[in-house]
Amino acid sequence: MSRNRLVLFLIAIFALALFVGCGSSDDDSSSESSSSGDSTTTASSCTPDDLNTFKDGVLTIGTDSPAYPPYFEDDDPTNGKGFESALGYAIAGELGFNDSQVEWATVPFDASYRPGPKDFDFDLNQISITPDREKAVSFSVPYYTANQAVLVKKGSDLDGITSLDELKDATIGVQVGTTSLDAVEEQIEPETDPKVFNNSNDVVSAFKEDQVDAIVVDLPTAIYLRDAELSGTVVAGQFEQEGGDQWGALMAKDSDLKSCVDQAIDSLKEDGTLDEITNQWMSNSAKAPMLS
């Protein structure tokens, strides 16, 4: 091979190596970019066509039966009335489902957080987010934090209070080891030590027997007691307490839907829709004004 030909041959080999090297770098960059994109859920991927739902093109929401107010009205989750019924349809709307694409499934409360596959996409049933339950299922970001509430007898001196200060002279019943006990001691600070009972049944019995003037429990429990167990009572008001139970939409463990449901709830928080739903059904309908 002549010297000129040798030089041209070496130049060609060098150019080919340079081209292959650059091509390899581009491929690696493209691969990394694709991998990164796959790990991030975008709003555009949270649509009915993209979501891996229990039924194709349908969002299946679970809840218990009977379904009580103020979470559901007339024992009918499909009517959109009640806190969690309205919330379910609002989440569905954020995900691109219309009302006719939403189905409700009956799921007993205790069965909802058992390990294993689910025949629903998410469950709304006043289910508190706890570490033990999170071992078996996944939860969305919280959609509600249960306030504390004051239950009193209708027509009593405490019916119609507007502030926590008006409870300072009251004898208050509360269950041991609860957030409610912390709330009484830290925020109400009554002149008389609260009467502390071992369980909720004892608290209710003491109230029935006029051993206490008022009960402090979480708001959902107060509403249930008023409507189902203690006739002639009113929820005089509610107030916030750090450490209140947080509720989340329950899903199968590591559900593909979690990030999209989280995004939907966050959007409802940001645009004020969640506050509107909460005020309408948990404050106004529950007739439990905020106490300062």
Residues 260 and 214 in one domain: no
Domain ranges, residue 235: 148-239
4: in domain: no
Cis preceding-peptide flag for 77 (omega within 30 of 0): no
Number of domains in the chain: 2
pLDDT by residue for the chain (292 residues), tens only, comes to 544 443 344 444 444 443 334 343 334 333 333 333 333 556 668 999 999 999 999 999 999 999 888 899 999 999 999 999 999 999 999 999 999 999 999 999 999 999 999 999 999 999 999 999 999 999 999 999 999 999 999 999 999 999 999 999 999 999 999 989 999 999 999 999 999 999 999 999 999 999 999 999 999 899 989 988 999 999 999 999 887 889 999 999 999 999 999 999 999 999 999 999 998 998 777 788 899 8
Residues 184 and 117 in one domain: no
Residues 131, 69 share a domain: yes
In angstroms, rounded to a whole number, what is the distance separating the alpha carbons of residues 166 and 170? 8
Angle, CA of 71, 110 and 101, to the nearest 5°:
50
- Contact 247/126 with Cβ under 8 angstroms? yes
Say what the pLDDT of residue 286 is.
75
**Residues 108-148 pLDDT 10s:** 999 999 999 999 999 999 999 999 999 999 999 999 999 99
Residues 141 and 258 reside in one and the same domain:
yes
Indicate if 52 and 194 belong to the same structural domain.
no
CATH code of the domain in which 223 resides: 3.40.190.10
Q: How far apart, in whole angstroms, are the C-alpha atoms of residue 55 and residue 202?
A: 46
Q: Tell me: the pLDDT tens digits for 75-109? A: 999 999 999 999 999 999 999 999 999 999 999 99
Instruction: Tell me, yes or no, whether 62 and 140 share the same domain.
Output: yes
Asked if residue 264 and residue 137 are part of one domain, the reply reads yes
